[in-house]
Structure 1
C-alpha cells in the first residue's frame, strides 16, 4: 500500500486516479503543522512507500506566514522522512524550482547551487535538507509551474480572466517548463517503485514540461487551446511587483530523471489541450 500525504492538491488528485488503492491523508487525517503526528501515521499504517504531495504552496502568503510554511514544508517532511527511513521504505517528496535563484538562462541541474529568493523557496529547501538528512531511501522531485483541471493554477486563472477580458498583460521575462500534474503523479509512482528495488537511486531529481516558455507564452497557448481570442501583452517582472520575489529562470535539467527512472519530460502542450477541454466541458 502506498501512503500519500495530500488529498485535494493537484498532484494528489491525479495520484488518486492513477493509484486508487493508495491511502490518502488530507488535512482531516494528518495535520502538517504537527510533524510528530505525521510520523506516527507512517509507523502505524506501515505502508510500502510514502509520497508527500502536500505542502504550503501559497507563495506570496508565505511571506507573512513563514512559521506555518516552515512547519508544513520543512518540519513535517523531515519527520515523515525519518519515519520512512526507520521503516526502510521509499519516501518521495515534491519540491520546487523556487529553491534556485533564477540567475542565467541555462537549465538548473539537481546539483547546482541553490539560492531561494522568497520564504516559500527557503522553506522548501529546508524540507529537502531534512529529507536528505533522514538517510533512508528517498527521492526529492523538483518540478515547476504545475497545472491541471484541479485546484488553483495558472491555466484556470487565465480561463477565468478570459470570460470578462479580451486583453491581458502577463509576465514575459520569467521562463520555465509548465508541468502537467498528471505527469508528476505518474513520476512519483514510478520513482517509488524504482526505489523499492534500487534504493541506491536515492537523490534529487527534476521533472518539468517541455518546451520551456514564458508565462506570456503559456498564456497564449492556453487561449489557443481554449479557442479564446485574447490579446496578451508582455510585461516585465519589475513592472509587476508581488510580495514574494520570483526567479526569472526556472528552467530545469531533467536528464538524470530519464537516466535513473526512464521518465522523459512531458510535452505540456498535449496535456494543455486535454485540461482546457475538461475545464470548458465542466462549465
Structure 2
C-alpha cells in the first residue's frame, strides 16, 4: 500500500508520518517539496509515486490572516485539494482530505451533522468549503474529514498558547460562549488511517463527508481550565486565575462560529471510530510545552 501525505510538517501531518511509518510505503511532503497550488507539480509527483491513497493535510489555517490574503487562501484550500483529487483520479487512487467546522455558521443549537446547511462566516471557511466541493467533483473516491479545535504536541495550537501565556501571567480572560470539541491531532491521524484500513478490507465504502472531533463538548474557557488543571498537577506551572468573557469582548478580524460542535455518529456507524478523547490526550501535558 502506497500513501502520499501532503502537509507532513503540520499538526496532523506529523502524526500521520509517525503512525504510517510501519504500515505503508510512505511519501511525505511539505510545501518546499510539493506546492499543491501548482497543478503540473501535483500531477508529476502523483504519476511518479503512484499512491493508492492521497491524504491532504496541507492547508492555509491562519483564520484571521486569511481575511487579508484571500487569493492565497483559495489557492491552498480550494485549488490544491482539487489538483490532488484530479491527480488521484487519473490513477484511480483514493483521496482523503481534512476540513473544518468553519464551513458552518455556528448558529445551530445542536451539533452539526454532515448534511446540514453550510454557511461560512469568513474567508477561511469559504475556502475550505470550496475545497470540499471541488475535491468531491474531481474524484468520487473521496473522504472529507471535518474536524475542529485541533491541538497536539507540534505546531501552534490553543494548548501550547495557554501554557506559554499562562506561565507568565497570574490571570487570563478566555472566551466562554464558543462551544466545540477539542480534537487531538494524533486521533485525527488514527481516524484517517482506520478509514484506509476499512477501504482496504471492503474495497468500497460510503464516500463523502464525515465529522470527527472530540468529546465532551466544552467552551474555550472550560478547555483552558482543564489544560491548566493538568499542567498544575504535572508541576508544569501554577495555574493562573481564569475569567470567562463573551466573544464580543474579544474581537478578531475573522468571525468564529459560536457552535462548533460536530455530530460524529456517522463515522462511528460506518467505520467504528469513536470521538477524540481529548482529556486523555492532555495526560502528557509536558509534551506540549514549546
TM-score w.r.t. length of structure 2: 0.94
- Alignment match, 1:78: 82
Task: Tell me, yes or no, if the aligned pair for 1:191 and 1:261 is still in contact at 8 Å.
Answer: yes
Q: Distance in 1 between matches of 2:9 and 2:205?
A: 32
Q: Distance in 2 between matches of 1:35 and 1:254?
A: 33
Task: Tell me, yes or no, if the aligned pair for 1:209 and 1:268 is still in contact at 8 Å.
Answer: yes
Q: Distance in 1 between matches of 2:213 and 2:243?
A: 25
- Alignment match, 2:259: 249
- Alignment match, 1:237: 247
2:286 to 273, 277, 283: 277
Deviation for aligned residue 1:135: 3.1
2:217 to 204, 212, 219: 212
- Alignment match, 1:8: 9
SS in 2 for 1:4: strand
Q: Distance in 1 between matches of 2:44 and 2:77?
A: 18
Deviation for aligned residue 1:88: 1.3
- Alignment match, 1:134: 138
**Structure 2: gaps (5+ residues):** 233-237
- Alignment match, 2:194: 190
SS in 1 for 2:109: coil
Task: Tell me, yes or no, if the aligned pair for 1:91 and 1:192 is still in contact at 8 Å.
Answer: no
RMSD: 1.2
- Alignment match, 1:61: 65
Q: Distance in 2 between matches of 1:115 and 1:214?
A: 21
Cα displacement string for residues 112-152 of structure 1 (whole angstroms, at most 9, x for unaligned residues): 00000010000000000011101331100000000001000
SS in 2 for 1:234: strand
- Alignment match, 1:50: 54
SS in 2 for 1:69: helix
Deviation for aligned residue 1:27: 1.3
Deviation for aligned residue 1:231: 1.0
Deviation for aligned residue 1:193: 2.8
Task: Tell me, yes or no, if the aligned pair for 2:67 and 2:254 is still in contact at 8 Å.
Answer: yes
Which shows bigger deviation, 185-194 or 233-242? 185-194
Mapping of 1:45-194 within 5 angstroms? 45-194=49-198
SS in 2 for 1:159: helix
Deviation for aligned residue 1:40: 2.6
